[in-house]
Amino acid sequence: MLAKRIIPCLDVRDGKTVKGVNFLGLREVGDPVEMGKRYAADGADELVYLDISATLEGRGTFLRLVSSVAKNISIPFTVGGGISTIEDASALLLAGADKISINSAAVNNPGLITQIADKYGSQFLVVAIDAMLIDNKWTVVTHSGNKKTTLELFSWAKEAENRGAGEILFTSMDHDGTKRGYPCSELRRLSEMLSIPLIASGGAGCVGHFIELFKGDCADAALASSVFHYNQICIPDLKRKLQENKIEIRL
């Protein structure tokens, strides 16, 4: 059995790690390279950096940041946010990213999944999916949940896999920020139908939520941000608790 992974996520704007709710009320919480180094030292298995810059200048800053992360951090890291072309993906991978993540661009142009996978390999590509329950149907959404699409979560995840995605990162917008736990039943269904790794995102609030997720074999990895940024959960303590619960984890 493969070890379960713990993945802190850092939202980056103009070179600084920020945190807010749906990108509103953002405030700086630290230097992304230094935070990444600390998470790596604490035992994080991977990192995710999401570029939420709104300006071209911010995009250039993010590219420079990716190079700095690659030089200073030894664990794998994924970058996402604003990737809409093969050229965007190429620039980030050449800057040193281990993987790239696409979300809205994949919804708008599903062929981009195949383009990137064909050029760089599926192992470099994460397709992120945001979804929420609308009229008893898990509907894919974009723009932080503000824009509804015609896609359904489970069929879209399978299509993304078939098109070449190497991993799926599913965020439940109904759970995100609530700290009430991950949507385990939906994650388990996704995990059972996919043959590629699944990353759970949205809802982590305590160590018990990670235990529930992994004990139920609902996902291969757990992503979280604020509980790590504000030291509500420390990764070494989390991993010890997971090990005590007979969950395969890298210490």
Bridge-based pairing state of the strands 99-102 and 137-142 = unpaired
- Identify the band that residue 2 occupies on the pLDDT scale cut at 50, 70 and 90: confident
> Which residue range(s) make up the domain with 127?
5-244
Among the options 45, 51, 130, 220, which is catalytic? 130
Q: Which of 8-17, 151-160, 238-247 has the lowest mean pLDDT?
A: 8-17
Task: Tell me the per-residue pLDDT of 127-167, one tens digit each, with 9 for 90 and over.
Answer: 999 999 999 999 999 987 889 999 999 999 999 999 999 99
On whether the CB atoms of residues 4 and 200 are closer than 8 A, the answer is no
Tokens (6 digits) for 29:
């919480």
Helices then strands, each counted (H, E), the chain? 10, 12
On whether residue 181 sits in a domain, the answer given is yes
SS3 (DSSP) at 197: coil
Q: In this structure, what is the dihedral angle of CA atoms 68, 70, 74, 76, given to the nearest 10 degrees? A: 130
Termini Cα distance of the chain: 15
Average pLDDT, the chain: 93
Domains in the chain: how many in total? Answer: 1
On whether residue 228 sits in a domain, the answer given is yes
On whether residue 251 sits in a domain, the answer given is no
On whether residue 49 sits in a domain, the answer given is yes
Note the pTM of the prediction, 2 decimals.
0.94
User: Any catalytic annotation for residue 220?
Assistant: no
Q: Return the pLDDT at 21.
A: 55
On whether residue 249 sits in a domain, the answer given is no
On whether residue 250 sits in a domain, the answer given is no
SS3 (DSSP) at 93: helix
User: Any catalytic annotation for residue 130?
Assistant: yes
Going 165 to 168 to 173 to 177, the CA torsion angle's sign is negative
On whether residue 169 sits in a domain, the answer given is yes
On whether residue 48 sits in a domain, the answer given is yes
Helix H or strand E segment including 85: none
SS3 (DSSP) at 3: coil
CATH number at 37 reads 3.20.20.70
